[in-house]
Amino acid sequence: MNKYVKNFVLSASNTIMMLLFPIITFPYVCRVLGTSNLGIINFAQSYGYYFIHIANFGIASYAIREVSKVREDSAKVEKVSNEIFNLNLMFSVISTLLYFCGVFIVKNYRENLIVFSIYSIVILTNFLSLDWLLQSFDDYLFTTIRNLIIRILSLIAVFVLIKKPEDYQIYMGILCVTEMGTKFSALMYCRKKYARLRIRKRYLNFKKHFKSMFTLFSFRLVNGISSNLDKLMIGFMLIYASVGIYSAGVKFILMVQPVVETIGVVLFPKINISAESSLDEYKKNLKLNYDLILLLGVPMAIGMFLVSPRLIPVFAGEEFIDAIGVSRIMSAIILLGPIGDMLGSKTILVFKKDRWLLYSSAIVAVSNIVLNFIFIPLWGINGAAWASLLSVIVSVVSRYILTCRLIRINLLTKSLFKYIGFCIPFIVLYVLFHNLIDNNTIWMFVFIIVCCFIYFTELLLSKDHLAKMIIYKTFKKEIA
């Protein structure tokens, strides 16, 4: 099997698996904990999200770029990996201290001190997140197996330990233990296979890494403002219950979007290397990345918009019915988010124009803050959803303008219009038969299965090149 097809299958399987487990647990958690307690957890996660960025300090993107360059030299891999590992440890400790400063200063945070304290463990152990080392070596098999085992244990813990609304603190503990399990297992595996990671003062090489890491950190932090500010502002401007309802609507978007983004994760080392060796090869890989995003992202975005009215009541319950509008508004992000990521990490970042990416993200963050301040008082959680969608559009447009200064790229391709055209039958089916079946669960699964069959048939009948490539490579055949 072709290496990149194999990696994509493994990475996609891992992403889908991580998608399935929340589908199983989320309905149960929503109904047991309720909107307010779930809102407290989501609010704490949104606050802690910024400190995870501080702890990470731009390391993930930078580390993949640097380690993938020297992965053929084991001595250099060990040296670079240890330097990054120790810097990550230092920033994790600093970030945890800053996190608790904020918790004790803000009254709303002190009222839920136990929840915030539990989440601090995720920040403190951030330096053990070694997915950057695994991705540098295209090692997706371990990640897939590890996540499967840990998610199964996590799923069992949720159904055994979460029995009443007051168990929301235990639920936060389960989430944190799950994170720690993935990190410690990765540490043991990476130390044995790739590099003997050790905590040593001599590895704190600020001069070599700090400048690039700081730029990427600034970009990730500013970019993170856009992705989590909505929940924080809803929590301050409305109530915790509104955060819980909004999070339920966003939940399904964030569950589906990584399936599309998996393409870019798998192709990043290949794109990064080809950018330095052959411009033609780089353009070919970038076009492949974009076309694959369209192949998956277009039907998923349109499908999410159509099934949201049935999806939310089934998986979250009637108490979260207001989340339908949020899910529908933000469904376009399933496609636009990965396109923005491609323009950022696969073009601007690859050509080492880190500051350009920072400037673009700053514009997006400012627009997000302004739009949330305007829209939340007007339309509540739907206003926050519109602010998020418009911010993503600003991100794509600004990054496209910057990308065109580096390389010519066309986003309005024939593939885009072809895949949109393939999804027109979905809309026709919805309009004609959306009232045919009253049971939400049965309607949703029938609709999804029929749409998948139609889309797959259209790909085969049109002899779509990407579909042929995936099928033929999977069965070790050459493309005709």
What digits encode the pLDDT tens for the residues 372-398? 999 999 999 999 999 999 999 999 999
Separation CA 120–CA 262 (nearest Å)? 28
Tokens of residue 337, six digits: 């988010």
Given this model, what pLDDT does residue 301 score?
Answer: 96
Query: Is the pLDDT assigned to residue 476 strictly greater than 60?
Result: no
Q: What is the pLDDT of residues 199-213, one digit of tens each?
A: 877 666 666 666 667
Helical packing angle, 440-461 and 414-422, nearest 10°: 140
The Cα–Cα gap between 32 and 38 comes to 9
Rounded Cα gap, residues 421 and 436, in angstroms: 24
Question: Residues of the chain with pLDDT > 90: what percent?
Answer: 25
**Alpha carbon separation from 280 to 115, 285, 287, 288, 291 (Å, rounded):** 51, 9, 11, 12, 17
**For the residues 193-204, what does the mean pLDDT come to?**
78
104-118, 348-362, 392-406, range with greatest mean pLDDT: 392-406
Task: Please tell me whether residue 142 adopts helix, strand or coil conformation.
Answer: helix
Q: Which residue has the higher pLDDT, 330 or 268?
A: 330
Does pTM top 0.85 for this prediction?
A: no
Measured CA distances, 69 to 15, 65, 157, 284, 320 (Å)? 26, 7, 41, 20, 47
Tens digits of residue pLDDT in 31-72: 898 888 888 888 888 888 888 878 877 777 677 777 877 777
Q: Residue 314 has what pLDDT?
A: 85
Q: For residue range 93-118, what is the model confidence (pLDDT) as tens digits?
A: 999 999 998 888 877 777 788 888 99
Structure tokens of 387?
A: 């602010």
- Tens of pLDDT, residue by residue over 199-249, are 877 666 666 666 667 766 676 666 666 667 787 788 778 877 788 889 888
Query: What is the pLDDT, as a whole number, of residue 1?
Result: 44
Residue-level pLDDT at 480: 39
Residue 344 has pLDDT above 90, yes or no: no
Helix residue spans in 194-278 (DSSP H): 206-237, 240-277
For the chain, what percent of residues have pLDDT higher than 70? 85
The pLDDT, as a whole number, for residue 308 is: 93
Q: Which pLDDT score is estimated for 328?
A: 95
φ/ψ region of 211 (left if φ > 0, alpha if ψ in -120 to 50, else beta) reads: alpha
pLDDT tens column, 119-153: 999 899 888 888 888 877 777 778 778 888 888 89
| Domain range list for the chain | 1-204
Per-residue pLDDT at 437: 83
Scanning 330-423, the segments in alpha helix (DSSP H) are: 333-343, 354-379, 381-403, 414-422
pLDDT at 381: 92
Instruction: Label residue 72 exposed, middle or buried (CB < 10 Å: 0-12, 13-18, 19+).
Output: exposed
pLDDT at 302 over 90: yes
Higher pLDDT, 128 or 20: 128
- Distance (Å, whole) CA 112 – CA 103: 9
Show the tokens assigned to 153: 């244990």
Provide the phi-psi class of 352: left if phi over 0, else alpha when psi is between -120 and 50, else beta. Answer: left
